[in-house]
């Protein structure tokens, strides 16, 4: 990561309040300030952290996103930290679930529109799909972007690794009933692509659905460097890029790929 030996990544796990932007911003701001006090380089928020999936009012909530991004820009500068999380984006009559990355200087480093919509909860009826993978350049190096359901599609994470990402961030609203899959998929994506996974899931209840929490930071060897349970929490961990490079040299999976054999 631009000759960096390490990166301190942080996660803010909280119960996102449906449609309550003011409350969610207050909670996010507290977490950002805490991570800033710990000299973290990055703060990752959950999926749709400003309003949750308040689907009937997505247009209104998307209208608030530009102002929210301005607040995040000021918070990034004030705390010397990269801030990332997904928000509703309105564009050309469509609504996208978009992961924004605000750099330490307050600029927009990149954004990614969720490609894989979760049809079980009818995301496909309310959101348009993104069409491209994204590795964004930040002040700490290239960061790959994914959102929640994307975890179930290994091709996407592999494409980010091949484009140079050593860290992939994943905001999510993953339910408790399938949290075992969340844990397994994060480790699988980290191990098979030999990179760090930084994943922020929401917690709490919404209607009859319980969310799993268990946000975590996973090393290229599949070790959980830091994580939590189903309760609100804010934490960080150091990512050691020297360890990553040594592991890639020891087991050079990415170099020994045989793409011609994978054709369908």
For 165, other C-beta atoms within 10 Å of its C-beta total: 25
Phi/psi of residue 106, nearest 5 degrees: 90, -5
Query: CA triplet 63, 69, 75: central angle to 5 degrees?
Result: 145
Instruction: Quote the radius of gyration of the chain (alpha carbons, Å).
Output: 17
Q: Which candidate in 17, 51, 104, 114 is catalytic?
A: 114
Q: Is residue 38 flagged as an active site residue?
A: no
For 66, other C-beta atoms within 10 Å of its C-beta total: 11
97 three-state secondary structure: strand
Q: Which candidate in 148, 157, 203, 236 is catalytic?
A: 148
Q: Which DSSP symbol is given to 175?
A: B
Who contacts 192 (Cβ-Cβ below 8 Å, separation ≥6)? 154, 157, 158, 253
Q: Is residue 71 flagged as an active site residue?
A: no
Q: Which candidate in 17, 47, 89, 203 is catalytic?
A: 47
Q: Would you say how long the chain is, in residues?
A: 264
Q: Is residue 5 flagged as an active site residue?
A: no
Please, are residues 15 and 204 in contact by the beta-carbon 8 Å criterion? yes
Catalytic residues: 47, 114, 148
């Amino acid at each position: 990561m631009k000759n960096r030996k390490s990166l301190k990544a942080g996660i803010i796990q909280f119960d996102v309040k449906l449609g309550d932007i003011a409350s969610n911003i207050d909670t996010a701001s507290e977490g950002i300030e805490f991570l800033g006090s710990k000299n973290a380089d990055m703060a990752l928020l959950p999926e749709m952290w400003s309003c949750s999936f308040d689907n009937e009012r997505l247009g209104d909530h998307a209208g608030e996103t530009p102002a929210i991004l301005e607040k995040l820009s000021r918070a990034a500068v004030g705390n010397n930290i990269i801030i990332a999380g997904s928000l509703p984006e309105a564009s050309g009559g469509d609504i996208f679930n978009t992961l924004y990355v605000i750099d330490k200087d307050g600029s927009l480093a990149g954004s990614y529109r969720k490609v894989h919509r979760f049809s079980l909860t009818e995301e496909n009826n309310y959101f348009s799909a993104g069409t491209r993978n994204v590795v964004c350049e930040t002040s700490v190096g290239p960061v790959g972007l994914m959102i929640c359901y994307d975890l179930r599609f290994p091709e996407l994470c592999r494409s980010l690794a091949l484009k140079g990402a050593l860290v992939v961030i994943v905001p999510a609203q993953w339910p408790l009933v399938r949290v075992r899959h969340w844990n397994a998929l994060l480790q699988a994506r980290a191990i098979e692509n030999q990179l760090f996974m930084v994943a922020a899931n929401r917690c709490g209840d919404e209607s009859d659905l319980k969310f799993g929490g268990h946000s975590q930071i996973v090393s290229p060897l599949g070790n959980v460097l830091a994580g939590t349970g189903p309760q609100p929490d804010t934490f960080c961990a150091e990512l050691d890029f020297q360890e990553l490079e040594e592991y890639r040299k020891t087991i050079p999976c990415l170099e020994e790929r045989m793409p011609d054999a994978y054709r369908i």
